[in-house]
Chains A and B, each alone.
Chain A
Amino acid sequence: MSVLAHLPAETPAQQTRRGHSRLLPYLLLLPGGLWLTVFFAVPAVQLAATSLYDPSGSLQEGYAMTWEFGNYADALSAYWPHFVRSLVYAGIATLLCLLLGYPLAYAIAQKATRFKNLMLVCVIAPFFTSFLVRTLAWKTILSDNGFVVGLLRDVGILGSDGRLLATSVAVVLGLTYNFLPFMVLPLYASLDRLDGRLLEAANDLYASPVRAFAKVTLPLSMPGVVAGTLLTFIPAAGDYINAELLGTPNQYMIGNVIDSAFLVRLDYPQAAALSFILMAIILAMVFVYVRRAGTDEVL
């Protein structure tokens, strides 16, 4: 039935529901949609407005809407190093996640056979201990008198007073660790769907293992790579916990700045402008990246 397969086939359930009420899908969407609208979309619009308020106001006295586009310029000129640092840290962490996550996802999907479920559980389980507890554990692992630093000093990678904690390395390592499962799970999902016989066919057609990987496995797992990099990069770019716990103010990312602008300095217009710049940068990168990667199946 090749012709019919491409037509919009409807299940009888759909037909009746349509017959009974065209309103049903809207009723189903209403509670969730309303929740997202009121508590996500409206605040986002309000945030956009806040970012254009006159910064000389305060929470107590109220703000005046003066279409202050200067807020954006001020925010950028004051904090552009933090933006750059956030994007660089998140970029490196995402790349590391991809390099670490791909072999793991591939091993689970194609090699693990009866250990598949066990290995999947092992990927997820560590993440039920709290995010903060895990990150603090890294503080122990990387501490100056810990085993890792000792080893690196002995083999001469670190100088005799070299450190890991409170450096960019520690922050990137923490980001990589904390967002690795967000990379592994989508990669696993797309590699699991990969038919092993395709690789046999590629080998049969004179492709070396490396070429078979480059020409068959990698292109077919692209939706997973795209989804995984987005799910890793987005939270990593906005994170500030790793920079706070594993770094010093010299490693602060834009998240730290926004957090303190909102909660410590109470400079709402600037905090809002910073938030919007971050969101705009991330969304722009997402769209360019999805376009370039040539897949719309992000979700």
Chain B
Amino acid sequence: MSWLFDPLQHAFMQSALLAAALVGVTCATIGVYVVLRRMAFIGDALAHTILPGLVVAYLFGWSLLGGALAAGLASALVISWLARREAIREDTAIGIVFTGMFALGVLLMSTQRSFRDLSQMLFGNILGVTSIDLLLIAGVALLVVAALALFHKELELTSVDPLYAQIVGLSPDLVRYALLFLLALTVVVGIQAVGVVLTSALLITPAAAAALLSNRLPRMMLIATLVAVGSGVGGLYASYYFNVSSGAAIVLACTACFGVVWLARAVLAPR
């Protein structure tokens, strides 16, 4: 059993495991709505648009979270403004804004000599989380899970039947913006774990695996959480023993879980 407990002697591994579990819970629960509401593309886009905010905050010594949030919210506003008159479809607007913002981030990064620090933003640095980061990650996890529980009714109704929600006076747009805000927060903590490029994997893959196993929403959230937390812990152990990138190991663990579920269903499901 020493292989299981050895890594726990290191403080950085304890913090990383805690962070991976918290990020897993956050991404998996909101990820179920991302998958059900077909928001996978915007989830990925939000992660990418945050890069210039992170870089600028890093260069000026501001709070990384503040920079990330500002960039994420600004992008969400520009996207909805561009798509407002239907001259441009929303997915096109997202494509334009997210690639532009990501390119801006890479450009800013390339002006710096210490490219290595910044590359952690692209691929995450969960082994270097500080106690302030941990506190922040825990706060976002609590906020997201509490909001999803308190506004379950409204999220459910606007997802199933936005027209009926509108008739009873519940604005689907209001709920959508609130969900985007929570998603932006989630993406910011997801970046801590697996970086800009791979964050959407934590949102989508566990939830997609859960959607194959259940058609009840609470059970889907539970399964997605188990997959994401399990993959976070498993990926970190793999990274510890085989000295590979922790972010990539976590994402590949999620992908493997999805693959197993997919195969099991294909083999066991009655034709």
* Physical interaction between A and B: no
